[in-house]
Amino acid sequence: MTTTAPSPASSVDASVLVDRLRRTFASGRTRPLEWRREQLTRLRALVNECEPELTAALAADLGKPAIEAFVTELAFVKLEVDTALANLEHWTAPRPVPVPWKQKPGRARIVAEPLGVVLVIAPWNYPVQLTLAPMVAALAAGNCVVAKPSEVSAHTSATLGRLIPQYLDHDAVAVVEGGVPETQALLDERWDHILYTGNGTVGRIVMAAAAKHLTPVTLELGGKSPVIIDRDADVDVAARRVAWGKYLNAGQTCIAPDYALVHADVEERFITAVVRSIREFFGDDPHRSPDYARIVNGRHLRRLEHLLPEPGRSADGTVVVGGERDEHDWYFAPTVLRDVSTDAPVMQEEIFGPILPVIAVPDLQHAVDFVNARDKPLALYVFSADESAVEQVVEHTSSGGVCVNHVVLHFMNENIPFGGVGPSGTGAYHGRTGFETFSHLKGVVSRTVKPDPKVAYPPYSAFKRAVLRRYL
């Protein structure tokens, strides 16, 4: 893919920008529900009315098929908007909570208040969704927002940089384009929350910058998300679903099945079924398929090349299918590896591309032990017809989320939090969880003026001390 990327917008003075948004927030402009509803409605209009432009930008950056762009990017943002609009009044209503009898007569409630001015730093793999969906949560919570799209997906960054100011409140929402210097300038500022989606290396930089101002962060970082195929799984269905999730967006998905741990008794059947699914999805030559995306740039294509087995190194695995690539349009074929050693390069880092290593295991416990010996993943997938086996995996592993007998779908459920654990991330968002991520849940206790027993106040006589010790 050799299209010329647009130049990013000129650099802005981050301190001037943040100061302007702080003045807007201090004025109270973003707090009324009417303002929040208006911004969310306009954001939905942006996605609806500008679908052709957004789809074209995604195609230019990632070769993303139009239907894939709609399902995984645009429709998801609209779902988040609709969920927020339908629930905004309920989410923002003060929530009564019980008062201990020792504090009666009185009342207590939890009030959700906006944090202030927040920063959303988005990645390049789903550049529309992962820029706009966090903004939905931040706007629903009543915040001012600065969005920083990735410079790697330059066409989408330029499109969002042009469209967002046309639709949203310019005094409360801003887009900053550019690369590392612009991101660093933003991180030097004081924010009330930062949400970053990307890799752990940059996640550490974000967290270190936030620590200088004691700014809370949400980090969505990814990792090697395993899929476990038990002996009694429906192998054909499992293979089809794993192939769909793995080769979606050419594997450039933070919750893609990174590698498969397959019971040795069904390994051959599983590999055969995955290869068959690839052909069903993309034909005999995926390079010509209109439904298969491209790698984002040449650097990432070459990174993936280095994960393939080298001649003479059998421990790196054997290519069952795929491995072809074309640097002219950044094509990397859907690829399956077998006989992969745990020391192989492909098992040392998140693949983030269309390579599926298959590792045979003798039983389910070995698969659980394999997962637990490594960093906690962002997602974990298990295929099994045995509910006790599923519960064994769910209870005895730790991951950001789990999907049983399918992949990726848990991300699309706005009613459950999405986030990582340990090295795969911290914090969560989506739906109400996103609203609360960008809110401060403030506890409020109200007491009546009377009664006002003097036993609570000094001087503390022996009688008062006895009463306080007895009832508090």
Give the other-Cβ count within 10 Å of 343's Cβ.
9
Asked, as a colleague might, if the bond just before 105 is cis with ω within 30 of 0, I would say yes
Angle 132-168-115 from CA coordinates, rounded to 5°: 70
> What is the sign, positive or negative, of the torsion defined by CA atoms of 311, 316, 318, 321?
negative
Beta bridge partners, 219, equal 196, 426
Phi, psi of 435 (to 5 degrees): -55, -45
Catalytic residue among 80, 254, 403, 414: 254
DSSP state, 257?
-
Task: For residue 454, give both structure tokens.
Answer: 């003097």
Q: State yes or no: is 254 an active-site residue.
A: yes
CA dihedral sign of residues 261, 266, 267, 272 = negative
d(CA 282, CA 303): 23
CB of 418 closer than 8 Å to CB of 428: yes
- Structure-token match 């609203």, residue found: 435
Q: If residue 383 lies in a helix (H) or strand (E), which one and from where to where?
A: strand 379-383
**How distant, in Å, are the alpha carbons of 62, 148, 149, 292 from that of 65?**
9, 24, 21, 7
* Contact by Cβ (8 Å): 9, 178: yes
Beta carbons of 375 and 223 less than 8 angstroms apart: yes
Q: Distance between CA atoms of 305 and 331, rounded to whole angstroms? A: 11
Catalytic residue among 68, 80, 189, 220: 220
Helix locations, 292-386, DSSP H: 298-305, 364-372
* β-pairing verdict for 226-229 and 259-263: parallel
Strand partners, 336: 321, 356
Rounded CA-CA distance 434/144 in Å is 15
Looking at the annotation, which residues are catalytic?
A: 220, 254
